Amino acid sequence: MPPFPASNPSRAVVLGSTSPYRRELLSRLRLPFTVEPPQVDETPARGETPLALARRLAAAKAAAVARLHPDAVVIGSDQVADLDGEPLGKPGTHANAVAQLRRMSGRTVVFQTALTVLCDATGFAQHDLAPVRVRFRALDDAEIEAYLRAEQPYDCAGSAKSEGLGVALLEAIESDDPTALVGLPLIRTCRMLRAAGVRVL
């Protein structure tokens, strides 16, 4: 017998994501769910702000997956690191990560984490934003190099994993939804799932 009673959602839950971090976060709710990679072009539009980009991509991911699973409750989320209005994407390479961390050293970055929950069958649609303000310490090149060699966070916007060694790069994190920085704001996710008719507890 499981240590907690299994939840019994009235509809299937689908996470529209390719992120292993979002999958791990959603699994903390002990809800049955499946994962469907959304087919969405994530290229920023000309002049698009990080906040607008995060909102658009979260909605687009949810909508793309909802078309494939119209009876399900679909979760879409996206995060864009915002440095003075400029979006910082996933670095992809060591050199790009070094450049990002040098730019963020001693500065505040807002991680714009957007969330959309949809169900085509019921017409349910909710959108929300969980911004996270992150203050980076003044970092020297040796610290940056040591961190990147240890954790290799090349698939993370902003080149740092706050849930791991990346916390040593930081002065402070300001957020009202603690898991938002990792990629999925679970307080908001629970609220929106309940509103969509999914029993979370």
Provide the annotated active-site residues: 78
d(CA 122, CA 63): 14
- Neighbour count for residue 95 (Cβ, 10 Å): 10
Token pair 């979760």 in the structure block, residue: 75
d(CA 57, CA 42): 7
Please, are residues 61 and 113 in contact by the beta-carbon 8 Å criterion? no
d(CA 95, CA 134): 22
